[in-house]
A = this chain, B = another copy of it.
Amino acid sequence: MSKFSATQRRLAAIATVLPPGATPEGSRGVILGEALRLFAEHGYGGASIRDIAKLAGIKGASVYSHYPSKAHVLAELIRIGHEEHLRRIRSALLAASPEPRLQLIAVVRAHVLAHADYPMLAVVSNAELHALPSEFAAPILELRRQSELLLLEVIRRGESLGAFKVADTELALLAIGAMGLRVAHWYTPELDKTPEQIADAYGDFACRIVGAMN
């Protein structure tokens, strides 16, 4: 383990943890939470099983009573992160008025809020995806594809209804996605902006990018 704290160069918040419904109880949950902290701060390769175990109050060998390998721990974290992300976008879209502009705002707000509410989970889900053994990657990438598809469909619908004016749909999609992704790296509760304010601003940015009339 490194002798320096590099948190500030990776994510700003030491905020709490995992989505309520998704966290297992007992040691399984504690291991998951502490692994998340360490993976977010030092990366998958920079955090050892023994480091995780120590924070969880057990010994390294005991981790294997709960998870078959270190990769399984990472896989579960990334799965939780992507499922929470998709779940939020889905329900936001379901609750939104059918106007294209309001749909876009709803999706972008959900996207941003997911990254501000669980910054560590978002950082690990995105930045450590490359460390995930390929046998675990397929279902994750499918979740990712579905989230992206929802945003894409909202933009396309807005275009075909004449509500949006986009030069390049795909680039707009990528740009809007990227804006939100990055929030996890700098958001902290100590900021003078609430997640709501950020979500509102980014929703507005997205509307401007796609040329949404209002």
What residues of chain A have their CB less than 8 Å away from a CB belonging to chain B? 2, 4-7, 9-10, 41-46, 127, 129-134, 137, 141, 167-168, 171-172, 174-175, 177-179, 181-183, 186, 193, 197-198, 201-202, 204-205, 208-209, 211
A95 CB, min distance to chain B CBs, angstroms: 24
B contact residues around A41 at 8 Å (CB) = 130
Do A175 and B167 touch (CB < 8 A)?
no
Main secondary structure of the interface of A (DSSP, over half): helix
Contact of A182 among B2, B168, B174, B198 (CB under 8 A): B174
Residue of B nearest to A144 (CB): B9
B contact residues around A46 at 8 Å (CB) = 45, 131
Contact of A6 among B131, B178, B193 (CB under 8 A): B131
Residue of B nearest to A167 (CB): B201
